[in-house]
């Protein structure tokens, strides 16, 4: 007798090696056109499926989860963040949720440093000058940016990525300040200066790197009042989640000159980002590419599959189970 393979819906077009393993081990419903699902179409596409392999931005809110067919037993998200999945609603339906921690730390920290350097050294303006044939040669005052070496870096959220960002910044002899829910052990702190109150950290930040998760507490945390506490000429970097920043406040500070520049890889409402960013020469913008290396995206996919295989094939608890908040 042939045992039926569990059916898994892939909501996005995932890397080839990931889809090959998905297809080998499951009855896979793929999305080769990488079309974007809204809630109703996602629920419809998951008809008869045991699991869903989704990604950041998929609308797995309470309404969508309520509409999922009874067959769905697990949602594995191809991401560390899981704010796009209503974990509480899933728990009420007895649907397990997993994520992919640990595998994208270095790639995202690399992009955070790229955003910091790109913003500080006016990389966008320089590249645009070349590509539009506006560069007429070197001059003593051309594209003078902000010095990085030896400056103060404040990190909001000192988890794995925040710590990796700090390690990179130490190569530039930056003094590290950080704020986190809990102070790190001495061996992980590595001389960084802890601020129990994140607002007290802000005046000490020549650069502010946002590495905090998106929660109800951090939603639009970087607002006009807190930006005003940063030193004039500071640089803001965001590679966490766009919703941690109040776009109107950040754009106003960049226009006024209170902030020298910003380096941003994530946006609230992406890909439909705030129109005000497009006209800012002092914003170094990237299209959410923090984890975009072949090695990292494969590792994310394989971790999502580890979780799906543990539960749907082996009847074991997923190793990266996300639990609903009490």
Instruction: Give the active site residues.
Output: 241, 270, 288
| C-alpha distance from residue 54 to each of 11, 36, 147, 306 (Å) | 5, 11, 41, 14
146-150-152-156 Cα dihedral, nearest 10 degrees: 90
Contact 94, 68 (CB under 8 A): no
Q: What span, in angstroms and rounded, lies between the C-alpha atoms of 280 and 106?
A: 29
Contact 27, 5 (CB under 8 A): yes
Neighbours of 191 (CB within 10 A): 9
3-state secondary structure of 163: helix
Helices within the chain (DSSP H only):
16-25, 39-45, 62-67, 87-92, 105-120, 123-131, 160-170, 186-189, 198-201, 224-229, 247-256, 294-308
Reduced DSSP (H G I as helix, E B as strand, rest coil) percent helix, strand, coil of the chain, to 5: 35, 15, 45
Q: What sign for the dihedral angle of Cα 201, 207, 211, 217?
A: positive
| C-alpha distance from residue 308 to each of 4, 47, 53, 73, 92 (Å) | 15, 17, 8, 10, 19
Q: What span, in angstroms and rounded, lies between the C-alpha atoms of 150 and 75?
A: 45
């Amino acid at each position: 007798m042939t045992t039926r393979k569990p059916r898994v819906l892939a909501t996005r077009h995932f890397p080839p090696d990931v889809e090959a393993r998905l297809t080998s081990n499951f009855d896979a419903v793929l999305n080769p056109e990488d079309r974007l699902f809204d809630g109703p179409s996602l629920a419809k596409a998951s008809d008869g499926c045991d699991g869903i392999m989704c990604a950041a931005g998929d609308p797995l809110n309470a309404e969508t989860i309520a509409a999922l067919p009874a067959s769905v037993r697990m949602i594995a998200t191809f991401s560390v963040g899981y704010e796009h999945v209503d974990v509480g609603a899933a728990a009420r339906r007895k649907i397990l949720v997993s994520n992919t921690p640990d595998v994208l730390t270095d790639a995202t920290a690399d992009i955070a440093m790229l955003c910091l350097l790109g913003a500080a050294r006016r990389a966008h303006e320089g590249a645009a000058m070349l590509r539009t044939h506006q560069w007429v040669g070197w001059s003593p005052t051309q594209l003078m940016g902000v010095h990085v070496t030896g400056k103060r870096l404040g990190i909001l959220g000192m988890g794995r990525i925040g710590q990796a960002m700090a390690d990179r910044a130490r190569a530039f002899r930056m003094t590290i300040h950080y704020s986190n829910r809990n102070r790190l052990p001495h061996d992980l702190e590595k001389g960084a200066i802890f601020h129990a109150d994140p607002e007290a950290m802000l005046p000490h930040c020549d650069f502010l790197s946002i590495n905090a998760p998106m929660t109800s507490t951090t939603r639009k945390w970087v607002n006009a009042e807190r930006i005003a506490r940063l030193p004039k000429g500071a640089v803001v970097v965001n590679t966490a989640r766009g919703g941690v920043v109040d776009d109107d406040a950040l754009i106003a500070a960049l226009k006024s000159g209170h902030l020298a520049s910003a380096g941003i890889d994530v946006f609230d409402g992406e890909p439909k980002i705030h129109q005000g960013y497009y006209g800012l020469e002092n914003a170094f913008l990237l299209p959410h590419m923090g984890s975009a290396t072949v090695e990292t995206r494969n590792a994310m996919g394989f971790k999502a599959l580890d979780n799906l295989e543990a539960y749907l094939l082996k009847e074991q608890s997923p190793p990266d189970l996300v639990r609903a908040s009490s």
